[in-house]
Structure 1
Amino acid sequence: MTRTASQAQHEQPDREGVAPGEPPAKRRIFADLTPLRISADYRRLWFGNTISWLGQAMTALAISLQVYDITGSSFSVGLVGVFSLVPLVLFGLYGGAIADTVDRRKLGLYSSVGACLLSVALAAAAFAGYQRVWFLYTVVALQAVCFALNSPARSAMIPKLLPAEHLPAANALTSMTNTSGAMVGPMLGGFFVGLWGYQAAYAIDVVTFGAALYAMWRLPAMRPERDEGKRGRASVVDGFRFLATTPNVRMTFFTDMCAMVLAHPRALFPAVAGLWFGGDAKTVGLLVAAPAVGALLGGLFSGWLGRIRRHGLAVLASVAAWGTAVAVFGLTRNLWLGLLFLALAGASDTVSMIFRTTMLQTATPDDMRGRLQGVFIVVVAGGPRAGDFLAGTVADLTSPALAITGGGLACVAAVALLALRWPAFARYDSHTPTP
């Protein structure tokens, strides 16, 4: 692979594979910040995404609040998720195919501009006092389209900005961005909406987009590396054909589906908060926050992950740990103990995500990375929704305890069966990545 402009400027690591001033990998505990130090392009991209993600999380909450203010209907608020999910799933695959055809830097830049203009439209409508729920639904759907185009392009660029050995650290930093934004963004959104109204949250979102746009604008050209015989538009079908021939890459999706579909108890938190813990809405909030806190801590204390070579085995272990933690949560009736196991589940999910993403980036040819990231978007977006439906259905037919504990055990069993069916996945070595 040819070196990019940013890689030519990397600070040379020492003999232990870390930049000067960094602690050796064997002693590192906290998140490895080396990717931020060695690549100016990656550093700008990470900071820009972190800042803009906060603004987008604020806007997401503000839209939900505004829809409820207009309609007074919780069902109408729920439709916000539908208008976001459907375009995300439909355009996720095609966004990945486009990212494997055009300059990814331009695709990322143009889709970010589109998302920024949508926030401008929200702010302008709010300042003008224009309140129509159909307008908000339309903006939400178009935001999902922009994200479906932007995310595969941005994710496919990361392996061109950093050496392969620093990708786990980069993915840990990404997990911290996503988790902290999802936690802090809604709190800030609620604060500013309460203080100055919806227009304040939307206007702040517009401003925060500046960091993401600047980062994309400063990147070098990022055209996919394609063989001479593969000219032309990339095909979604070809992406699925490639996935059918790559058991290790395919297993990253299978294991994630085990966790998100079979052992996803989020939909049952309102029921168990009262039934098990005698709580109220505040208890539901704690249950929802616990996995996110665990995920954030998992990213914060991720320095040791750089020493792991057997990425497939790490994925199997972390997904099994998720299922085990969820199963134990279903057995406990002590709130604080339950929160602890939910936090452990969240930390396990972070470890799984870091290694699954790294395998996807290193074992996939560059001209297929966009399409595989598109599949990743569909799995990440659709898996939890399918898990919510399954958990709710089983709980209604049996009980919440059986749905949660049984789901956790089913996740562990499914992962074990997958490991037996494709044993090479557990032997996957990051030093010789094979799809």
Structure 2
Amino acid sequence: MTTDEATEVAPPPKRRKSRFATLSANRDFRMLWLGQAGSELGGSLTTLTAPLLAVAITGSTVAAGVLGSIGFVSIWLAQLPAGYLADLVDRRTVMLWCDAIRLALMATFAVLVMLDMATLWQLLVLTVAGSALGVVFRAAQQQAIRVIVARDQIPEAVSITQARGFAISMVGPPVGGVLYAVGRALPFFANAVSYAVSMLFVWRVRTPLKPPNRPTARRLLPDMGQGWSELGRNAFLRGQTIYSAVTNLAVSALLYTVIFGHAEDSVILGMALSAAAGAGLLGSLAAPVLMRRLRLRTLLVSVALLRGAAVALATLTGEPILFAGTLTIVMFAGPVVNAALSTATVLYVDAEVMGRASSSSAFISGMLQPVAPLLAGVLLSMWSPSLVQWTLTGGFALVAICALVLPGLSLRLDGDGR
């Protein structure tokens, strides 16, 4: 060994990039992420203004509840065909068609609202089509993320996707409320533009998104049956299905109770929802850390207890503003649950049937959700607000019990195994 070789200083070790930094360097994930940012911004404007428009047209919170229930029914019925398409059809084609149809429908309805020709039936059609196409788009997007993103980056990909939605929701509701106050058609025109933005970015994704298998009419029922078979075989999917069914009903009932209770002031309601969305953003950013340290069951039980305690505290104080503030707690905890369940699905469900198996689970777990808006509207017209609040508290207690006793939920979420 020479003197020069002996005295040579070893180069410092390279600093390992964080998973978020590596993910941000993934061009196709950025395209998909940015496209949905535009679409979700438009959607956040009309999530609030659609039920407000229904109340304005009919003068009835029950009618608005029916509108919300029909939207949930559409989401529920679309689950099975959405999963089938996501597994067996080019995901890019599916997403582009969903955006194109929603763009045409939303622009047409915006014109009708501007001309003061909009009716409740037209709003129902828009709700049904938009809800169903949204399910199909998200199923295709989930499979696309699985192709585009490395397995060990799945928790971060799921979390940052949720964080985007909550960040946008901080802006969307108050802007939607202001636009609605200026002109009822404006939020719907903005939503139409958002679908055009989404189409542009989806079209720029370079990674091939065609599945290995191609659908045929002869194999339609057998292929869809594979999703139900996976649901019956996979203990996690069975547990998730029951847990999600109870959770969806409780959370949706709380959301619509707040909306219907403050329907007279769209701007203030929008600000309240924006604050709750800010909490959801923080929850999304915290989700990867929690998922890599806690098992799934621990997360689910903790979140349910936190939500129930928040609603109970608001009920005991008797302050309406605190009851509305419980949305902040619910929205902070929601991303943690959603990210955990989505990550577990990607990690522990076979890739070839993930779309169909997930849609089969969502089809069953969504059966109760259509009841929530109508239930909130009816209960508020019959019962005192405090009684409705105690009912919601009991619902979250039931969620905690389900998370504690259901099999298949004690899983690791760090991508390194069970």
TM-score by length of 1: 0.75
* C-alpha displacement of 1:64: 3.9
In the alignment, what sits opposite 2:85? 98
Three-state SS of the structure 2 residue aligned to 1:109 is helix
- Which range moves more in the overlay, 145-154 or 77-86? 77-86
**CA distance change for structure 1 residues 306 and 71 in 2, over 3 Å: closer, same or farther?**
closer
Structure 1 residue 362 corresponds to structure 2 residue 362: no
Please state how far the C-alpha of 1:152 moved relative to its aligned partner: 0.8
CA 1:179–1:429 in structure 2 vs 1: closer, same or farther (change >3 Å)?
closer
Q: What is aligned with 2:190?
A: 204
- Counterpart of 1:158? 145
Q: Secondary structure at the match of 1:100?
A: helix
What is the letter of the counterpart of residue 400 of structure 2?
A: V
Following the alignment from structure 2 to structure 1, what is the Cα–Cα distance between the partners of residues 368 and 248?
5
How large is the RMSD of aligned CA atoms in angstroms? Answer: 3.9
- The offset of 1:244, in angstroms, is 0.9
Q: In structure 2, which of residues 386, 401, 405 is the aligned counterpart of residue 417 of structure 1?
A: 405
CA contact (8 A) 2:69 2:371 kept: no
Would you say the 8 A contact 2:226–2:357 is kept in 1?
no
The equivalent residue for 1:47 is 34
Query: 2:328 corresponds to which letter in structure 1?
Result: A
The residue that corresponds to 1:214 in the other structure is: 200
Residue 226 of structure 2: which of 232, 238, 248 is its match?
A: 238
User: More relative contact order in 1 or in 2 (CA 8 Å, sep 6+)?
Assistant: 2
Q: How far does the alpha carbon of each residue in 1:63-100 deviate from its partner, in whole angstroms, 9 at most, with x for none?
A: 44444444444444334323422222112221111222
User: 1: distance between equivalents of 2:177 and 2:214?
Assistant: 50
Secondary structure of 2:303's counterpart equals helix
Q: What is residue 136 of structure 1 aligned with on the other side?
A: 123
Gap change, CA 1:389 and 1:428, over 3 Å in 2:
farther
Kept in 2: contact 1:102–1:223 (CA 8 A) = yes
1:403 aligns with 2:391: yes
The alpha carbon displacement at 1:117 in A equals 1.3
Q: State whether residues 82 and 139 of structure 2, in contact with CA within 8 Å, keep that contact through their aligned partners in structure 1.
A: yes
Quote how far apart the aligned CAs of 1:330 are: 4.2
Q: Which amino acid aligns with 1:43?
A: R
The answer as to whether partners of 1:329 and 1:405 remain within 8 angstroms in 2 is: no
| Equivalent runs, 1:290-305 vs 2, <5 Å | 291-302=276-287, 304-305=289-290
User: In the TM superposition, what is the alpha-carbon distance from 1:215 to its structure 2 partner?
Assistant: 1.9
Q: Size of the alignment, in residue pairs?
A: 396
C-alpha distance in structure 2 between counterparts of 1:402 and 1:288, whole Å: 22
Label 1:362 to 1:402 Cα distance change in 2 as closer, same or farther (>3 A): same
Percentage of identical aligned residues: 21
Is the Cα contact below 8 Å between 2:48 and 2:176 reproduced in 1?
A: yes
**5+ residue gaps in structure 2?**
1-12
Matched letter for residue 202 of structure 2 = M
Q: C-alpha displacement at 1:214, in angstroms?
A: 1.5
Q: Secondary structure at the match of 1:403?
A: helix
Kept in 2, the 8 Å contact 1:330–1:402? The answer is yes
Q: 1:271 to 1:433 in 2, by over 3 A?
A: same
Q: Output the CA distance in 2 between the equivalents of 1:145 and 1:259.
A: 21
Q: Given the superposition, is the C-alpha separation of residues 224 and 310 from structure 1 closer, same or farther in structure 2, using an over 3 Å criterion?
A: farther
Matches within 5 A, 1:275-290: none
Structure 2 partner of 1:80: 67
Alignment of 1:296-315 (within 5 A): 296-302=281-287, 304-305=289-290, 307-308=292-293, 310-315=295-300
> Is contact 2:52-2:266 (8 Å) kept?
no
2: distance between equivalents of 1:381 and 1:15?
A: 48
> 2:84 aligned with 1:121, yes or no?
no
Give 1:120's aligned amino acid: A
Q: 1:306 to 1:260 in 2, by over 3 A?
A: closer
- d(CA) in 2 for partners of 1:267, 1:76: 13
Counterparts in 2 of 1:143 and 1:402: CA distance versus 1, 3 Å: closer
**How far is 1:185 from its partner?**
2.0
Q: 1:328 to 1:71 in 2, by over 3 A?
A: closer
- Partner residue, 1:11: none
- After superposition, the Cα gap between the structure-2 partners of 1:433 and 1:389, relative to the gap in structure 1 and judged at 3 Å, is farther
Structure 1 residues not aligned, in runs of 5+: 1-13, 26-31, 274-279
Given candidates 239, 250, 259, the residue that maps to 2:238 is 250
Q: Is the 8 A contact 2:231 2:238 kept in 1?
A: yes
Name the CA shift for 1:331/1:259 in 2 (closer, same or farther; >3 Å). Answer: farther
- On the 8 A contact 2:36/2:198 being kept in 1, the answer is yes
Q: Deviations over 1:413-434 (max 9, x none)?
A: 332222xxx2x53244643556
- The offset of 1:114, in angstroms, is 1.0
Instruction: Give me the whole-angstrom Cα distance separating, in 1, the residues matched to 2:402 and 2:118.
Output: 48
Q: Could you tell me how far 1:186 is from its partner in structure 2?
A: 2.9
SS of the aligned residue for 2:410 comes to helix
Q: Who is 2:307 aligned against?
A: 322
The AA in structure 1 aligned to 2:197 is A
Q: Is the 8 A contact 1:171 1:354 kept in 2?
A: yes
- SS where residue 136 of structure 1 aligns? helix
What does residue range 389-400 of structure 1 map to in structure 2 within 5 Å?
Answer: 396=383, 399-400=387-388
Query: SS of the counterpart of 1:426?
Result: coil
Q: Which residue of 1 aligns with 2:159?
A: 172
Per the TM alignment, residue 130 of structure 1 is displaced from its structure 2 partner at its CA by 3.7
Q: Does residue 431 of the first structure (1) align with residue 415 of the second (2)?
A: yes
1:281 to 1:105, Cα distance in 2 relative to 1, 3 A = closer
- Structure 1 residue 315, shift from structure 2 partner: 3.5
Q: Which moved further from structure 2: 294-303 or 242-251?
A: 294-303
Report Cα offsets for 1:367-394 as digits up to 9, x if no partner.
2222234246546755544456778779
C-alpha distance in 2 between matches for 1:414 and 1:154: 29
Q: Does the 8 Å contact 1:329/1:338 carry over to 2?
A: yes
Cα 1:402–1:271, aligned 2, differ >3 Å: closer, same or farther? farther
Residue 313 of structure 1 deviates from its aligned partner by 3.9
What are the Cα deviations for residues 227-272 of structure 1, in whole angstroms up to 9, with x where unaligned?
99xx944633321221010002322233333433457544555899
CA distance in structure 2 between the aligned counterparts of 1:63 and 1:129, rounded to whole angstroms: 15
Counterparts of 1:334 and 1:95, CA distance in 2: 42
* Correspondent of 1:112 among 73, 79, 99: 99
Distance 1:315 1:116, change over 3 A: same
